[in-house]
């Protein structure tokens, strides 16, 4: 910047505003200092320096040299003066002067020739300020800005802005560099423009919303008037319907009170309010529930048992429990015992068994036997606790839980409610559905079950709950404690034959468009399908195979390649179904030493499990493969430790273990396995390997083994025995303490099989291994 001459001028302090070069301002002269400075200026060359004084008493380092253009009095009698800012000046030291005014030495500061960037910034600043003025409806001022071409003068116009405070204007005054000053005021005005744009957008949205609401209000008023003229006032009819329901229903008093309360809210709610729709939805849901509707139980015990027997073969435990429940109801009714005294004595059954054994269909059969309505609630994969208890009404799209919806679907308050796949409930951040079921399945408290959406108590004490599950291990303990567990362990071959003959064949004939007179299956053909094409606890795969046979027959009849009636015999099964899918492989697998046949329980029922053992030269140790759990790995270690510590009694020597590495493998490596019940099987496989005695091909075993050779009891005896029977095995070795569990095995199976009850592993080895050594151990 070019420095000009040094001047001595009177100083006029400013406390409420800032005068920048180029500004013309009218100022009231209210203090003695201002009057003295004004008099000194008028007595001199008419100039003075205007310096802002901040709150802390500090004067700005830069002031504005101004010329007094006019003086006079305001209408209020206060003396005033009109000044014009001329240029910036740096404030120096005080100097002596005339009168009582404060004189200071000032150094004039002039601006250099504007640079290209300064011109560019001035142009951008003018555009921003014009937009600000347009928002405020001051477009005429924007016209005046277009006449200012000097960048410094353009920046100093910020002194007129009402959006900048005193400190910001002082900062503009003290910033003598033009480019820096333009960048500063440009930043501030951009912030002002953004704020104005936001306010304008909000004001526009509010205005449009108000106009839309007013328009909808007028249209709804006109629509209401039209409907009234046409006599088609649906809203009034709907409200009247709720009043009629209140007068005619036998619902509990607390439900009526809740409906009355919500109906009052509905009548006070404007038709334009969305809350009216939410209240009507709630009223519709509550009034559609069967509060006072109950089915009359069929109390004839013999007739109910006949219906159960007609629908399902076997499953005697379940049938007995249903008949017992019905008999108790009959006795209480005959003896006039109060219904309220039954509270807390409801029946909650859990049917646990492999897929395809008829758990779900049994629920429908129970409902038919009792003369009740039936509803099913699928719980597999449910993760949200609100699916059971309902969503609170504050949420958009809220609805009652599955229990309340099932009652509405059934149409009575005492249906048979099937909770399907209760073992497959999940849990996440939305809650634990199994915890919500604790109240539902507790006879002592489910008479006051409260759904979050309904917010009224539901009496579930008369509902007969039947839960189904494949595995009992995944059901939480507190939930399992509330249910009476009945196990369905699968069917024997004879039971499958009866089910196929009495149920599956007829159903598949109908599905494939055939009549009973057009095709028939012999019992031998059905047995062949059961033995060679299925190996399951239930009958689901059996029904698929029978359906495939009937589709082949239907194709022949439709194509004219055969004439009815067609009889499918044992020899025809392979022509329709192809090669057999299952074989009696126990004899082939156990023909060499080191292989033992065990039994296991899976999610699909019992199964035969082969264990293979081998040894090789190398560092002593044990490898176990087959995707095994920790318990099973520990059992393999126990088995090897037992064999090694009892080598002499078993006819083995220490040389058989030295510098040899053992490997125990469970085939079907893709299937996870765990549990201690394969302990005796692994022990037998190792002894068979080391002694060279192969295992007898018709024997299977199960049991946990200890380091001392004791055989401990296990679970799932019935399922394991049925699996051995399906696989064609005739002898099963079980722990001695599992002997009473054989009572659960069907009598026909017990007659066809031989059972050995073992207390010690040596007994297992004597029964399982061939009595003589037939093959030497490979070196």
What are the catalytic residues?
A: 677, 720
> Cα separation of 353 and 421, whole Å?
11
- 78 touches 28 (CB < 8 A): yes
Per-residue HEC secondary structure of 292-306 comes to CCCCCCCCCHHHHHH
> Cα separation of 515 and 489, whole Å?
33
Q: Which residue has the tokens 């249903």?
A: 322
Distance of CA 628 to the CA centre of its chain: 30
Sign of the torsion formed by the C-alpha atoms of 408, 410, 416 and 421: negative
> Cα separation of 256 and 241, whole Å?
14
Q: Helices 402-410 and 274-288 sit at what angle, rounded to 10 degrees?
A: 60
> Cα separation of 556 and 163, whole Å?
93
The closest of 369, 382, 459 to 416, measured between CA atoms, is: 369
> Cα separation of 723 and 489, whole Å?
10
Concatenate the DSSP letters of all residues of 570-592 into one string.
GGGHHHHH-S-S----HHHHTSS
- Residue 714, class by beta-carbon neighbours within 10 Å (0-12 exposed, 13-18 middle, 19+ buried)? buried
Beta bridge partner(s), residue 177: none
Q: Are strands 660-665 and 699-701 parallel, antiparallel or unpaired?
A: unpaired
> Cα separation of 406 and 416, whole Å?
10
Q: Measuring CA to CA, how many Å separate 776 from each of 581, 686, 688, 689, 694? A: 34, 14, 11, 9, 11
Beta bridge partner(s), residue 600: 607
Which runs of consecutive H residues, i.e. helices, occur in 629-745? 630-645, 679-691, 717-726
CB atoms within 10 A of CB 535: 18
> Cα separation of 741 and 743, whole Å?
5
Q: Helices 166-174 and 178-230 sit at what angle, rounded to 10 degrees?
A: 150
> Cα separation of 499 and 361, whole Å?
13
> Cα separation of 365 and 359, whole Å?
10
Q: Measuring CA to CA, how many Å separate 646 from each of 305, 314, 620, 639, 759? A: 56, 46, 17, 11, 16
Q: CA torsion, points 220, 224, 227, 232, in degrees to nearest 10?
A: 110
Residue 8 phi, psi dihedral angles, 5° rounding: -115, 120
Q: Enter the DSSP assignment of 255.
A: H
Q: Measuring CA to CA, how many Å separate 91 from each of 66, 147, 167, 244? A: 14, 31, 18, 91
Q: Are strands 711-712 and 704-705 parallel, antiparallel or unpaired?
A: antiparallel
- 391 touches 422 (CB < 8 A): no
Q: Are strands 519-521 and 566-568 parallel, antiparallel or unpaired?
A: parallel
Radius of gyration of the chain (CA): 48
Residue 642 phi, psi dihedral angles, 5° rounding: -65, -45
> Cα separation of 276 and 503, whole Å?
52
């Amino acid at each position: 910047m070019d420095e000009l001459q040094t001047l001595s001028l009177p100083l006029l302090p400013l406390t409420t505003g800032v005068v920048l070069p180029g500004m013309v301002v009218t100022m009231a002269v209210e203090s003695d200092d201002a009057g003295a400075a004004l008099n000194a200026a008028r007595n001199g060359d008419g100039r003075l320096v205007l310096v802002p004084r901040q709150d802390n008493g500090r004067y700005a380092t830069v002031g504005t040299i101004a010329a007094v253009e006019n003086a006079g009095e305001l209408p209020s009698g206060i003396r005033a003066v009109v000044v014009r800012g001329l240029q910036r000046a740096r404030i120096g030291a005080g100097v002596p002067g005339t009168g009582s005014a404060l004189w200071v030495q000032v150094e004039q500061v002039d601006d250099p020739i504007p640079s290209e960037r300064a011109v560019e910034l001035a142009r951008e600043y003018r555009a921003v300020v014009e937009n600000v003025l347009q928002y405020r409806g001051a477009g005429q001022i924007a016209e005046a800005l277009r006449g200012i071409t000097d960048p410094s003068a353009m920046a100093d116009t910020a002194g007129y802005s009402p959006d900048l405070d005193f400190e910001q204007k002082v900062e503009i005054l003290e910033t003598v560099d033009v480019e820096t000053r333009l960048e500063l005021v440009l930043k501030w005005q951009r912030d002002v423009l953004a704020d104005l744009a936001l306010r304008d957008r909000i004001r526009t949205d509010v205005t449009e919303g108000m106009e839309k609401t007013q328009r909808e209000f007028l249209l709804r008023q006109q629509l209401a008037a039209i409907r009234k003229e046409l006599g088609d006032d649906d809203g009034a009819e709907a409200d009247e319907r709720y009043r009629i329901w209140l007068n005619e229903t036998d619902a509990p008093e607390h439900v009526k009170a809740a409906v009355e309360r919500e109906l009052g809210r509905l009548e006070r709610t404007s038709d334009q309010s969305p809350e009216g729709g939410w209240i009507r939805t709630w009223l519709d849901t509550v009034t559609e529930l069967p509060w006072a509707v109950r089915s009359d139980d069929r109390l004839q015990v013999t007739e109910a048992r006949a219906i159960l027997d007609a629908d399902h073969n076997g499953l005697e435990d379940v049938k007995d429990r249903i008949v017992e429940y019905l008999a108790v109801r009959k006795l209480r009714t005959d003896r006039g015992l109060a219904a309220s005294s039954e509270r807390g004595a409801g029946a909650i059954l859990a049917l646990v068994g492999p897929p395809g054994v008829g758990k779900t269909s049994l629920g429908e059969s129970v409902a038919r036997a009792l003369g009740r309505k039936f509803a099913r609630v699928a719980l597999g994969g449910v993760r949200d606790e609100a699916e059971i208890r309902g969503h609170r009404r504050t949420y958009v799209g809220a609805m009652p839980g599955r229990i309340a919806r099932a009652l509405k679907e059934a149409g009575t308050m005492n249906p048979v409610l099937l909770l399907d796949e209760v073992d497959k409930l999940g849990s996440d951040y939305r809650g634990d559905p199994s915890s919500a079921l604790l109240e539902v399945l507790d006879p002592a408290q489910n008479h006051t079950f409260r759904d979050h959406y309904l917010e009224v108590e539901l009496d579930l004490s008369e509902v007969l709950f039947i839960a189904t599950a494949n595995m009992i291990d995944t059901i939480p303990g507190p939930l399992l404690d509330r249910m009476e567990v009945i196990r369905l362990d699968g069917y024997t071959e004879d039971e499958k034959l009866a089910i196929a003959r009495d149920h599956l064949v007829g159903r598949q004939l109908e599905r494939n468009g055939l009549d009973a007179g057009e095709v028939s299956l012999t019992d031998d053909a059905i047995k062949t399908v059961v033995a060679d094409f299925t190996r399951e606890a239930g009958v689901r795969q059996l029904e698929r195979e029978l359906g495939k046979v009937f589709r082949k027959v239907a194709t022949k009849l439709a194509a004219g390649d055969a004439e009815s009636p067609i009889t499918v015999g044992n020899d025809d099964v392979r022509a329709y179904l192809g090669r057999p899918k299952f074989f009696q492989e126990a004899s082939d697998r156990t023909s060499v030493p080191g292989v033992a046949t065990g039994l296991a329980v899976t999610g699909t029922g019992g199964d035969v499990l082969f264990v293979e053992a081998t040894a090789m030269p190398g560092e002593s140790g044990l490898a176990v493969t087959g995707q095994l759990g920790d318990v099973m790995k520990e059992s393999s270690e126990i088995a090897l430790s037992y064999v090694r510590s009892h080598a002499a009694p078993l006819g083995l020597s220490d040389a058989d273990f030295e510098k040899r590495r053992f490997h125990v493998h469970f085939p079907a490596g893709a299937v996870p396995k765990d549990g201690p019940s394969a302990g005796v099987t692994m022990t037998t496989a190792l002894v068979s390997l080391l002694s060279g005695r192969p295992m007898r091909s018709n024997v299977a075993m199960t049991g946990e083994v200890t380091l001392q050779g004791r055989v401990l009891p296990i679970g799932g005896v019935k399922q394991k025995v049925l699996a051995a029977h399906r696989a064609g095995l005739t002898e099963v070795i079980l722990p001695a303490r599992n002997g009473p569990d054989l009572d659960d095995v069907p009598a026909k199976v017990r007659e066809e099989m031989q059972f050995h009850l073992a207390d010690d592993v040596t007994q297992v080895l004597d029964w399982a291994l061939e009595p003589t050594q037939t093959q030497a151990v490979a070196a």
